[in-house]
């Protein structure tokens, strides 16, 4: 097939086809492209909505184009108008298509005169998939309501009408009105000393994709953690969070030494209420983070290393489509490991790499063949589905393999060049490979064949010669687990008193899927796992105990599921309960109580799981 003409974008010439082929967006950026967003929002907590207007600056690509097509989901459009250079406005005709369950509603704006700007006046729905509204009772401090966004993968369209594809980058500025005493933050430079006067302005001068558009508002306190970093959190959480994340400046400086200057100015962290559905979200200038990593010993701060690493891989160099998301997550997980090694030591970095690799080895064979590939058929995996362990763990495993084959020094030079070459651009897997071939594979002949590279990217499974790091402590844990299960080592004789979080995770991860009930009860009696405040350990423990038939843990498991809305830490428990009729009935009861406190994404995933399990039984 004949490719469309190339699109000049910065210093790179990217094929327009790369921008026009996103199956998860209605946008037609080969016709017209949004380059800047001017956002004006009013936060309405009682009605659980944003009232706003979005003014889009446009770059018309096709002189014959007749319309601007945008992505929306559940937006109520009041009016749309063209904005002239003199500020005068002209009403435009538009059509909002019926809602598609996955993609939302296509908004087609008739604009044959090719206006330089188009303004959409709209209101969001209380059920917007990218926003969560919390009552004061659902927050930690329990005094004021809270609202936050989660735009990845394709949920920005539920609170802003735009071209919702990672291929399209734009700058933005925003004005936000809020009740007094509420702090508003966005994925831009935030002023820790801003008065809580209900009037906030933001500017993001760097071009970002829509999934990195973010907003939060609530009873938020601030504590500085360095000259260019601070922690934002509810007042009852902020001191604990600042202690946990006190190494942030050290992490930034370490990453700069590895891969070049931090390009975004400030790096702040917003610790959200427990209903946040993910571990962290790499929103530029302000990572949104789960409170489940606040365990007091910094054992889970690799989350900060991961989200910070996105400032290079993901935010600076972005995947052009969700099919290519491994370019964000695989590269970031690799960089995360390098940061962890430099700041906290190689043993911890190796343990984390082994945890992810062993988990992937266990799970990948059960995945559909297309989902096992780093670069799958783009129409075979949905936008949210693409954020799987394959993107993170197979991707980072591939990069660790490259490092081992080419040597750390050569591979570091390659990565620096990669980040510099593609900075501020969205790229495909094929563009990354086109850069890798001359700048790494052919530059150092004999280290790795091109067929091996393609096998990692396009084949199913994990190559048989994929290297794994060594961990003497994990080897000892393997021996102790085997002896415990065989009955030659009592539970209270395990050398677990000194285990860190990762070592407990490893011990529990490699228990049998259905462990003997008496063994589980012995473990709990010796180490008091039921009721643990550590959510990573709790998720693994409750999953095993439920699968093993220990109904004594059900109440504590339900408390975990109700308190924590992070999908990764909650879904395994629902899945464990759903395997038996009694468990499924109990899970339904827990969900009925917990649902109001869950994020819309969590509600959707848990609701679908329960519905599917009921249908199967």
Under a CB-based contact definition with an 8 Å cutoff, are residues 95 and 108 in contact? yes
Q: Is 326 helix (H, G, I), strand (E, B) or coil?
A: helix
- Where b means 16+ CB within 10 Å and e means fewer, 586-613 reads bbeebbeebeebbbbbbbebbeebbeeb
Under a CB-based contact definition with an 8 Å cutoff, are residues 218 and 181 in contact? no
3-state secondary structure 96-136: ECCCECCCEEEEEEECCCCCCEEEEEEECCCCCCCEEEECH
Helix ranges, 260-319 (H)? 302-309
Q: Which of 392, 414, 418, 586 is catalytic?
A: 392
Cα(584)–Cα(578) distance, integer angstroms: 4
Dihedral of CA atoms 8, 12, 15, 20 in degrees, nearest 10, equals: -70
Rg (CA), the chain: 24
E-strand spans in 414-541?
425-427
Q: Which two tokens stand for residue 427?
A: 């790229």
Which has the closest alpha carbon to 174: 38, 320, 18, 346?
A: 38
Which has the closest alpha carbon to 415: 398, 401, 436?
A: 436
Under a CB-based contact definition with an 8 Å cutoff, are residues 120 and 161 in contact? yes
Cα(399)–Cα(605) distance, integer angstroms: 31
Q: Which of 244, 307, 351, 403 is catalytic?
A: 307
Which has the closest alpha carbon to 511: 475, 485, 539, 492?
A: 485
Q: Which two tokens stand for residue 594?
A: 């917990």
Q: Which residues pair with 175 in a beta bridge?
A: 40, 201
Under a CB-based contact definition with an 8 Å cutoff, are residues 474 and 506 in contact? yes
**Catalytic residue status for 392:** yes
The residues, ordered by sequence, that sit 6+ positions from 423 with a Cβ below 8 Å of its Cβ are 263, 316, 317
**Catalytic residue status for 414:** no
* Whether the bond into 448 is cis, omega within 30 of 0: no
**Catalytic residue numbers, as ranges:** 307, 392
């Amino acid at each position: 097939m004949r490719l469309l003409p190339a699109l000049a974008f910065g210093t790179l010439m990217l094929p327009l086809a790369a921008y026009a082929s996103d199956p998860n967006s209605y946008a037609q950026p080969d016709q017209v492209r949004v380059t800047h967003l001017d956002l004006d929002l009013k936060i309405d907590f009682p009605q659980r909505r944003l009232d706003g207007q979005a003014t889009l600056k446009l770059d018309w690509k096709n002189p014959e184009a007749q319309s601007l097509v945008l992505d929306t989901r559940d937006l109520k459009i009041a009016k749309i108008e063209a904005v002239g250079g003199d500020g005068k406005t002209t009403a435009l005709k538009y059509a909002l298509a019926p809602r598609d369950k996955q993609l939302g509603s296509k908004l087609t704006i008739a604009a044959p005169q090719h206006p330089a700007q188009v303004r959409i006046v709209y209101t969001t729905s209380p059920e917007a998939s990218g926003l969560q509204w919390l009552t004061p009772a659902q927050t930690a401090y329990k005094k004021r309501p809270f609202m936050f966004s989660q735009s990845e993968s394709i949920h920005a369209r539920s609170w802003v009408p735009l071209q919702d594809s990672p291929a399209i980058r734009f700058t933005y500025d925003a004005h936000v009105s809020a009740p007094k005493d509420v702090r508003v933050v966005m994925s831009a430079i935030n002023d820790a000393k801003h008065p809580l006067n209900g009037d906030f302005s933001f500017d993001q001068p760097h071009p970002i994709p829509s999934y990195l558009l973010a907003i939060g508002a609530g009873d938020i306190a601030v504590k500085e953690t360095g000259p260019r970093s601070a922690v934002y959190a509810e007042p009852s959480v902020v001191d604990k969070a600042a202690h946990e994340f006190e190494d942030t400046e050290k992490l930034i400086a370490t990453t700069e030494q590895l891969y070049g200057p931090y390009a975004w100015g400030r790096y702040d962290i917003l610790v959200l209420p427990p209903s946040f559905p993910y571990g962290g979200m790499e929103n530029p200038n302000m990572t949104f983070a789960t409170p489940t990593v606040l365990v007091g010993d910094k054992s889970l701060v690799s989350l900060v290393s991961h989200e910070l690493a996105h400032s290079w891989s993901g935010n600076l160099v972005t995947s052009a489509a969700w099919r290519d998301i491994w370019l964000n997550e695989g590269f970031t997980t690799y960089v995360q490991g390098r940061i962890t090694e430099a700041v906290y030591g190689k043993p911890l970095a190796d343990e984390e790499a082994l945890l992810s690799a062993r988990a992937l080895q266990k799970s990948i064979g059960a995945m559909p063949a297309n989902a096992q590939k780093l670069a799958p058929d783009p129409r075979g995996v949905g936008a949210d589905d693409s954020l799987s362990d394959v993107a993170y763990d197979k991707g980072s495993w591939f990069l660790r393999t490259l490092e081992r084959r080419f040597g750390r020094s050569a591979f570091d030079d390659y990565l620096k060049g990669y980040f510099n070459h593609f900075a501020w651009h969205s790229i495909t897997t094929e563009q990354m490979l086109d850069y890798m071939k001359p700048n790494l594979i052919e530059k150092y002949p004999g280290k790795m064949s091109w067929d091996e590279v393609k096998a990692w990217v396009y084949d199913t499974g994990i190559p048989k010669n994929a290297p794994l790091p060594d961990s003497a402590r994990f080897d000892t844990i393997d021996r102790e687990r085997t002896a415990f299960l065989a009955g030659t080592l009592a539970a209270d004789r395990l050398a677990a008193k000194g285990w860190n979080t990762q070592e407990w995770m490893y011990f529990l991860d490699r228990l049998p899927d259905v462990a003997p009930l008496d063994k589980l009860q012995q473990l709990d009696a010796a180490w008091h796992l039921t009721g643990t405040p550590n959510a990573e350990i709790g998720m693994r423990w409750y999953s095993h105990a439920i699968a093993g038939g220990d109904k004594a843990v059900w109440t504590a498991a339900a408390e975990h599921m109700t308190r924590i809305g992070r999908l990764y830490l909650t879904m395994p428990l629902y899945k464990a309960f759903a395997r038996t009729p009694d468990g499924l009935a109990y899970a339904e009861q827990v969900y009925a109580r917990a649902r109001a406190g869950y994020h819309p994404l969590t509600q959707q995933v848990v609701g679908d799981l329960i519905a599917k399990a009921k249908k199967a039984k």
